[in-house]
Amino acid sequence: MLTFVVRRLLLAVPVLLGVVFVVMLTIDLLPGDAVTLMLGEHATKDAVAKLREHLGLDKPFLVRYLDYVGRVARGDLGRSIQQNRPVAAELADAWPATLELTVAALVIATLVGIAAGVASAVRPNSLFDGLARLGSLFGLSMPIFWTGLVLIVVFSLWLNWLPVGGAGSLSHLVLPAVTLALPSVAMIARMTRSAVLDVLREDYVRTARAKGVGEFLVLARHALRNAFIPILTLLGLQSGQLMGGAVLTETVFAWPGLGRLMVKAIFARDYILLQGAVLIFALAFVLINLIVDLSYGLLDPRIGRQG
Amino acid sequence: MNAWARFRRNRLALVGLALVVLLALSAVLAPWLAPYDPARQSLIEKRARPGAKYLLGADEFGRDILSRVIYGARVALLVGVLSSAIALVGGLLLGVIAGFAGGWLDAVMMRALEILLAFPYLLLALAIVAALGTGTLNTTIAVGIWGVPAVTRIVRGSVLALREAEYVGAARALGAPSPALLRRHILPNIVPGLIVYGTLFMANAILLEAALSFLGLGVQPPTASWGLMVSTGRDVLLVAPHVATVPGLAIMVAVLAFNLVGDGLRDALDPRLRGSV
């Protein structure tokens, strides 16, 4: 078990190195010069050169890359250009809000998605099934930022139940979390429906029924447990969707998280902050998928841990 | 039963197809369909509610929202089609190379692919936009590049599977050179899957373009892009909700349309793919 975790974590290192490389390279290929953009068009050549040197931009790309990686390995993410604060501090301020939002969304998506999917699968082609499938089609097609605005109009403007934006209390969390969860609810409901339908056709389900196991136990002990493997894979992939969606949701609801920080960094050409933010997102994504892989073994003892 | 007959029996897919045709028509015929010039401002009528003069109301600058939604179909479809082309062609080339070459080249390409796929959704596109800059062309390129890794993986997987197929082995044993194998035996088997994936990718491309434009990192004003329209409407959401919500409906309809057609094509072209793409 431990060797598996350690090996997977070691395997994640080249991926993260690659992510940093890609981000730095794309920024490096930038046609406009970041420094000129930062200082404005009227900056003197001297000032531009000075800032370039200060930021280390006068060195060749590979040197800068190795330099950055070396510093990250020692826990130093550099200083943000705009605020001139340690990037680690800026990220530390922002990530709890994003974690709160994405975890809330993931919980909603899992509970609602699995419940709807199971209900659909138990009575396929019923009225509920039809409505749920239609609903998930729409859920997958709605742009998340628009869903957020529509929810604001309905629940904040018309009904006056929930705040328009900002963070701080549970009532602030409801709309952003629901917004972020909706596309995943749709995906999970679809996947659960087809996974449970597949399992219900299996021989062991028929055997269980034949020996008189109640329908609820058949679902809970046999169908859902086996259907959980594909659902779990999907949850890992959905976490990536949720992080991307968080960028949009945070923007719509003025939620003070990593996504908004990242958009701000792009606008300000604060590439050091941007690199840090992308690195954190990629790290989280890798870790979540590691947890998903680990939980396969818990659900299905047949799955070994060879990696 | 041929593919079209199977497709035709799927009512939802037909609805999707009708919507796609409608979108294409409004994109092509925009100058004739739109009641007003999409850029025409009328500041005394700003935020006008939907009514007889402006069927869907007017935006912050008094521009007719209906006309802008119609013109917006041009941007959405243009970015969608071109970025899908980039993703499909790029992915096809890389996937065939990786699948055929095998060995260290394949291994290196797959590691690189893993890195790109480790970017959570949207973040890769954001990184590319951060590098390329904004604008319609750069948005198209960013969305296209964003799609390349997934296509590459699909194509490589099919090439690897087909290379092992007996009829391909037979053709090879008969002395067929690689290009002929590729053209006669492998590509025809990959194309249906790519058509399906490309259609579903259109839906994602339209969503992504809208998202980037909404963030202010995609198509720039004054071009009528749906995502951009939602973004301008957001500032007046509480006084004039229609400015932001109406263009968003257009995005949803377009995405829904391509999703429906894509699902229908998948079931019609290759029933085995059901649930996998």
Asked if residue A134 and residue A33 are part of one domain, the reply reads no
Cα(B65)–Cα(B35) distance, integer angstroms: 10
Verify that A37 and A101 share a domain, yes or no. no
Q: How many CB atoms lie within 10 A of CB A220?
A: 12
Mutate to test the interface with A, among B119, B208, B229, B232 (most CBs of A within 10 A): B119
User: Binning pLDDT at 50, 70 and 90, where does residue A29 land?
Assistant: low
Look at residue A199 and tell me if it is in a domain: yes
- Per-residue pLDDT, averaged over B100-128, amounts to 81
Q: How far apart are CA B78 and CA B140, in angstroms?
A: 8
The answer to whether residue A156 scores a pLDDT higher than 90 is no
- Indicate whether A152 and A60 sit together in one domain: no
Q: Are residues A36 and A126 in the same domain?
A: no
Contact A98, A176 (CB under 8 A): no
pLDDT reported for residue A33: 60
Q: Determine, yes or no, domain membership for A132.
A: yes
Please indicate whether, in this complex, the C-beta atoms of A142 and B126 are within 8 angstroms of each other.
no
Q: Report the C-alpha gap between B180 and B186 in whole angstroms.
A: 9
Report CB contact under 8 Å: A266, B275: no
- Name which of A9, A36, A146 to mutate to probe chain B: the one with the most chain B Cβ atoms within 10 A of its Cβ: A146
- pLDDT exceeds cutoff 60 at B119: yes
Question: B178 falls in which pLDDT band (50, 70, 90)?
Answer: confident
Structural domain includes residue A82: no
Contact B168/A at CB under 8 A: no
Q: Quick one: tokens of A186?
A: 């749709």
The verdict on B203 touching A (C-beta cutoff 8 Å) is yes
pTM for the whole structure: 0.84
B112, B241, B256 member nearest A141 (Cβ) = B256
Taking the CA atoms of residue A64, residue A68, residue A69 and residue A74 in that order, the dihedral angle to the nearest 10 degrees is 150
Does A166 map to a domain? Answer: yes
At A30 the pLDDT is: 58
Q: How many domains is chain A partitioned into structurally?
A: 2
What is the C-alpha radius of gyration for chain A, rounded to an integer number of angstroms? 24
Residue A80 lies in a domain: no
**Are A271 and B123 inside 8 Å of each other by CB?**
no
Res. B258: pLDDT tops 90: yes
The domain boundary, picked from A39, A73, A107, lies at A73
Q: Does A195 reside within a domain?
A: yes
Give the end of a domain, one of A73, A97, A115: A73
Contact B218, B212 (CB under 8 A): yes
**Judgement on whether residues A218 and A296 belong to the same structural domain of the protein:** yes
Q: Is the ipTM of this complex over 0.90?
A: no
Task: Let me know whether A114 and A224 are in one domain.
Answer: yes
Residue where one domain finishes, among candidates A51, A73, A95: A73
- Within a domain: residue A236? yes
- Same-domain pairing of A158 and A259: yes
Q: At residue A301, does pLDDT exceed 70?
A: no
The CATH number covering residue A174 comes to 1.10.3720.10
Which of A49-58, A178-187, B213-222 ranks highest by mean pLDDT?
A: A178-187
Q: What pLDDT was estimated at residue B272? A: 58
How far apart, in whole angstroms, are the C-alpha atoms of residue B274 and residue B263? 8
Residue A227 and residue A281 in one domain: yes
A68/A200 same-domain check:
no
Mean pLDDT, to the nearest integer, of A245-273? 86
A102 shares its domain with A226: yes
For residues A200 and A259, state if they share a domain: yes
Nearest to A143 by CA among B17, B239, B206: B206
* pLDDT for residue B53: 72
Higher pLDDT, A40 or B22: B22
Domain that holds residue A27: 2-73
What is the C-alpha to C-alpha distance for residues B251 and B76, in angstroms, rounded to an integer? 8
**One domain, residues A61 and A96:** no
Structural domain includes residue A79? no
